Structure 1
Amino acid sequence: MILQRLESLPVGNFHYKLLLLTGLGWLFDSMDTGLIAFVLPVLAKEWALTPAQVGWIGSIGLIGMALGAVLAGTLADRIGRKRVFSLTVLLYSLSTGMCALSWSYESLLVFRFLVGFGLGGELPVAATLMSEYAPAHLRGRFIVLLESFWGVGWLVAACISYLLIPAFGWQIAFVIGTLPALYVFLIRLHMPESIRYLLTKNRIKEAQDVILMLERKLGVESKPFTGEVDMSKLSSQGTETKPKFSALWSAPFRTRTAMLWLAWFGIVFSYYGIFMWLPSIVYAQGFAVVKTFEYVLIMTLAQLPGYYAAAWLVDVIGRKYTLSLFLLLSGVCSFFFGNAETSTALLAWGSAMSFFNLGAWGVIYTYTPEQYPTAIRALGSGWAAGFGRIGGMLAPMLVGVMLGNAFGMNTIFLMFASVFVIISAVVILLGKESKKKTLEELEVALEG
C-alpha cells in the first residue's frame, strides 16, 4: 500500500526539488574535479613539482573516490541514504577548503585523498536516492538529468579558473570549493529519507509519515493509513538480502554485477585517460587551439545536449540499448578524434566524443541502481563505481607510459576506441532491460 501510493504520486515540485538538491551535489563534485585539473599546471609551476608528483595529486583523489564509493554505498544500506549523502558532501567540501591551506606537497595529498573519498561516496548514493523516489515511467529521465549537473559543474570550474585564479591565485579555487558545506543544511531541511530504505528497516511509521507529507505537498487527497502493513508487498529480495559483498555475486546477481563492473571499468578508464591527458596529448601534436578557453568551453557545452538526448532515449528505447549505443559511438568518435589532421576536425570529433561519452555516463548512473534490490542497491552501486575507479587510476598512468615510448595520438585513441566498443558489446550481451518498471517489479524479475 505504501509503495503503491508512492508510485501513484504525480510528478511535481517535490521531485524537481529533489532533483535540484541531489543535482547541486553533483555540480559541486564536478566543480571540484574540474578545479583540480585547472589548478595543477599553476601549482606545478609555483611548487616546482615533477610530472610524477603532479600525477600523484590527480591519482590520490581517484584512490579516495574508489574507497569512498565502496564504503559509502555499504553505509547507505545500513544507516540511510540521506545521512550518508550529507556526510559525504560535508567531508569533501571541508577537505577542499583545507587544500587552500596546504603547507606542503604531502599535506595536499592527504587533503585530496579526503576530497576524493567524499566525492566518490556522494555520487552513487545520490543516484540511489533519486532512483528510489522518481516514478517508474520517468526514472531514467530523472537520473540522466541528475548526471547533467556534472557538465554544469565543469563550466563553473572553467569560469572560476579563467576568471579568478589569475587574479587571486590557486587558493581561491579551493576556498570556493567549501561552499557545499553550507548546502548540507538545505539537504537536512528539504530531503526526506528514502521510503524504500525505511521499509527494509521496518520503520513503517516513518515511511507512512513521509507519504502523507508528500501527498499534502503535491495536492493529492490524503487518507490516513489503517491496519497492519502487508510486508509481503515488499520483495523478499529486498527484505532478506543482507547488505554484504557476497550477495552481489550470488546466483540472481552475478551476471549483472559482472556486466556493471566491466562497463564501469571501461567508461571510467576511457574518461579519465582521455580528459586528464587531453590538453597535453593534443598540444603535443601541434594543435595549439586546445590551450584556449574557447576549446574547453566548446567541449564542455557539448556534454549538455548529450545528457538531454540520453535522458529522452532511456525511456524510449531503454537503458541497455541507449548505453550500448552511446558507448559504441563514443568509440567511433574517439577513433576519428585520434586521427584528426585539422583544428576543425579536432573540435568537431572532440565535441561529438564529449556528447556521447557524457551521455553514456548519465545512462550508467540510471542503469546501475536498477539492477539490485533495495537492501543492496547502494552497496551494488558503490562497488560498481568503486571498481570502475581502478580504471581511472590505471588509464592516466598507461597514457603516460605510452607517451614516454613515443606512441602517437592515433594509437592512444585507438586503444580508447577499442575499450568503448568492447564494453558496448558487454552491455548488449549481458545487460537486462529495466525501463518503465517499478523497482519492485525489477526485484520480482530478479527472483525469477
Structure 2
Amino acid sequence: MTETETGTRRTDARRSIAQRLDALPFTRKHGRVLTGSGIGWALDAMDVGLFSFIIAALTQQWGLSMGESGLIASIGFVGMAIGASLGGLIADRIGRRQVFAITLLIYGLATGASALAGGIAVLMVLRFFVGLGLGAELPVASTYVSEFAPARIRGRLIVILEAFWAVGWTASALIGYFVVPASEHGWRWAFAIGAIPALYAFAVRWGLPESPRWLAGRGRVAEAERIVETFEAQAGKARQAQDPGGDLVQDPAPSPVARSAGGRVAALWSREFRGRTLSIWLVWFCVNFAYYGAFIWIPSILVDAGFSLVRSFAFTLIITLAQLPGYAVAAWLIEVWGRRLTLSVFLVGSAVSATVFGTVHAEWAIIASGMALSFFNLGAWGALYAVTPEIYPTSLRATGAGWAAGVGRIASIIAPLLVPVLLLAGGSGLAFAVFAVFFVVAAAATWGLVDRRGETLDDR
C-alpha cells in the first residue's frame, strides 16, 4: 500500500468516526462523560468561589488592605492565564483526558496545602499553583465534551456542562456561610474541603474514555474505533465504520491544520482564523474582567457597605442560586437562537444588571439586581464555552480554546487589582458601570464569531 493510500484510509477513518459520533442519540455513556467532566467543573467553581469568601474572612483576621487582598486574588489568575495557554497546547499533544486529570490533581493538592498557610507569601505561591491547574482544566474539559457530543445537541450539552459551575459555586457559598465564619480556623477547613479534586483526578484518569476525534487525528484509529463502538453498542446501533450511510457521506476531510505547538499557535492567526480569534479573545477578555471583578469582590463590597460577614455571605448565597436558571434558559436558547444571538443577549442583560446593582442600596434591590446579574452573566458563560471549541478544527481546538481562556485570565489578573482603585474613586457605582461597559464590548465582539449550530465539527 502506498503512502497516499494509507493517508486516504486514515482520512476516511477520521471522517467515519466523526460521522458516527454525530449520528448517535444521547446515551448513558454521553451522560457519564458529561457528568464526569461536570463534577470536575463544579469542583473548579467551588475552589474559585471559596476564595471569595475566604479572602473576606482573611481581610478581617490578618488585617489585609484591599490592595493586598487584590494581589492574592490576582496571583491565582496569573497561574490561570499560564495554565490555560499551556493546557490547551498540551491537550492537543497528549490528549484531553490526561490533561484534565493532571490539572485536577495540581489544583486539588495546592488548595489543600493552602489550609496550612501562615502568611501572605506562602498563600500567594500556593494560589499560583491552584490557578495553574484551574486555568488548564476548564478549556480542556469543554473541548473534551464537545468532541463526544452529537452535533444537533452539542451546544446544549456544553451549556449544561458549564451549569455545573453553579453547582460548585453554590457549594462554595454554603461552605462560606456555614464553615468559614464558624471559627477562627474556618477558612482553613474550607481550603481542606477544596482538596477533593486531587482525589477525583484518579476517577477521571481511569473512569472516562479519551476523545475518539483526538485519537483518530493522532493516527490511533483502532483505539478511537473501540470507544465509538461502545457508544454505538449502548445505543443499539450497528457498527458503521465501513458504510456510514447515505445521509452522512461527506467529502474526505483535509489534513490537520498544524501538528507542532508553534504551528498550532501560529495557525490561530492565519487568514482563515484570525477574525474569529480576535473576536473570541476580545469576548473572553471582557467577560473575565467583568465577571471576576464583580463576583470575587461582592462579599467584600457588602461587608464594606455595613453588612455583617454572615449577612454578606447569606446575600451572596441567594444571589448565586440565580445562576442555575440562567444556565437552563441559555441551554434551551442556544439551539433555538444559535450561539451568537444567545451570547450577545445574555451579555447585554449582564450589562443592564451590573449598572443597576452598582446604584441600589436597599436590601431587596441588592438581592434582585444581584440575582439578575448572576442569571445573565452565567448564562453568557455557558454560551461562551459552547461556541469557543466549535470555531476551531480538531487539531487546533484545545489550543484555540486554551489561548482564548488564557487571554481572558489576563483580564482576571487586572480586575481584582483595579477594583479597589475604582471603589476608592467612585464607589460600587463606578466599578459596576465599568463592568457594564466591558459586557457591552463583549456583546458587540460576539458577532465576529462563526455559528456552527447543528453542524458537524471541523475534524482537520
TM norm structure 2: 0.89
CA contact (8 A) 2:20 2:240 kept: no
Q: CA deviation at 1:202?
A: 0.9
CA contact (8 A) 1:287 1:343 kept: no
Equivalent residue for 1:426? Answer: 445
Which one of the candidate residues 47, 67, 70 is aligned to 1:52?
A: 67
Shift in CA distance, 264/290, structure 1 to aligned 2, threshold 3 Å: farther
Query: Mind listing any 5+ residue stretches in structure 1 that lack a counterpart?
Result: 227-231
Question: Per-residue CA shift, 1:161-190, capped at 9, x if unaligned?
Answer: 222331453211121112122212221232
Question: Per-residue CA shift, 1:220-242, capped at 9, x if unaligned?
Answer: 2336769xxxxx96632535565
What letter corresponds to residue 435 of structure 2 in structure 1? F
In 2, the alpha carbon distance for the partners of 1:408 and 1:44 equals 19
In 1, the alpha carbon distance for the partners of 2:420 and 2:57 equals 20
| 3-state SS of paired residue (1:252) | coil
Which one of the candidate residues 111, 131, 154 is aligned to 2:126?
A: 111
Question: Per-residue CA shift, 1:220-273, capped at 9, x if unaligned?
Answer: 2336769xxxxx966325355654211110000000000000000000000011
1:136 aligned onto 2:151: yes
What RMSD over aligned residues (CA atoms) do the two structures have, in Å? 2.1
Shift in CA distance, 341/93, structure 1 to aligned 2, threshold 3 Å: closer
What letter corresponds to residue 316 of structure 1 in structure 2? V
1:439 aligned onto 2:439: no
Alignment of 1:198-217 (within 5 A): 198-217=215-234
What letter corresponds to residue 443 of structure 2 in structure 1? S
Question: Per-residue CA shift, 1:385-434, capped at 9, x if unaligned?
Answer: 000111111122222112223x1322222221121112211212x12211
Which one of the candidate residues 82, 90, 95 is aligned to 1:67?
A: 82
| 3-state SS of paired residue (1:439) | coil
Q: CA deviation at 1:200?
A: 1.2
Equivalent residue for 1:229? Answer: none
Which one of the candidate residues 357, 364, 367 is aligned to 1:347?
A: 367
What letter corresponds to residue 209 of structure 1 in structure 2? R
1:361 aligned onto 2:417: no
In 2, the alpha carbon distance for the partners of 1:388 and 1:418 equals 16
Equivalent residue for 1:269? Answer: 289
CA contact (8 A) 2:59 2:65 kept: yes
CA contact (8 A) 2:91 2:398 kept: yes
Alignment of 1:43-192 (within 5 A): 43-165=58-180, 166-167=182-183, 169-192=186-209
| 3-state SS of paired residue (1:132) | helix
In 2, the alpha carbon distance for the partners of 1:39 and 1:6 equals 43
Equivalent residue for 1:370? Answer: 390
Alignment of 1:374-393 (within 5 A): 374-393=394-413
CA contact (8 A) 2:283 2:445 kept: yes
What letter corresponds to residue 305 of structure 1 in structure 2? P
| 3-state SS of paired residue (1:309) | helix
1:296 aligned onto 2:316: yes
| 3-state SS of paired residue (1:196) | helix
What letter corresponds to residue 361 of structure 1 in structure 2? W
Q: CA deviation at 1:361?
A: 0.5
CA contact (8 A) 1:242 1:376 kept: no
1:416 aligned onto 2:431: no
Equivalent residue for 1:313? Answer: 333
In 2, the alpha carbon distance for the partners of 1:340 and 1:361 equals 25
Q: CA deviation at 1:197?
A: 0.6
Q: CA deviation at 1:9?
A: 1.6
Shift in CA distance, 98/390, structure 1 to aligned 2, threshold 3 Å: same
- Greater Cα offset, 289-298 or 199-208: 289-298
Q: CA deviation at 1:285?
A: 4.7
Q: CA deviation at 1:53?
A: 2.6
Question: Per-residue CA shift, 1:317-357, capped at 9, x if unaligned?
Answer: 00010001100111111112222242222221111111000
CA contact (8 A) 1:14 1:218 kept: no
| 3-state SS of paired residue (2:296) | helix
1:259 aligned onto 2:279: yes
Shift in CA distance, 345/315, structure 1 to aligned 2, threshold 3 Å: same
In 1, the alpha carbon distance for the partners of 2:407 and 2:151 equals 28
CA contact (8 A) 1:64 1:113 kept: yes
Q: CA deviation at 1:109?
A: 1.3
In 2, the alpha carbon distance for the partners of 1:157 and 1:144 equals 20
Equivalent residue for 1:39? Answer: 54
Q: CA deviation at 1:86?
A: 0.7
In 2, the alpha carbon distance for the partners of 1:294 and 1:303 equals 15
What letter corresponds to residue 271 of structure 2 in structure 1? A
Query: Mind listing any 5+ residue stretches in structure 2 that lack a counterpart?
Result: 1-15, 244-249
Q: Once the two structures are aligned, what percentage of the paired residues are identical?
A: 46
| 3-state SS of paired residue (1:375) | coil
Shift in CA distance, 169/408, structure 1 to aligned 2, threshold 3 Å: closer
TM norm structure 1: 0.92
In 1, the alpha carbon distance for the partners of 2:237 and 2:276 equals 37
| 3-state SS of paired residue (1:208) | helix
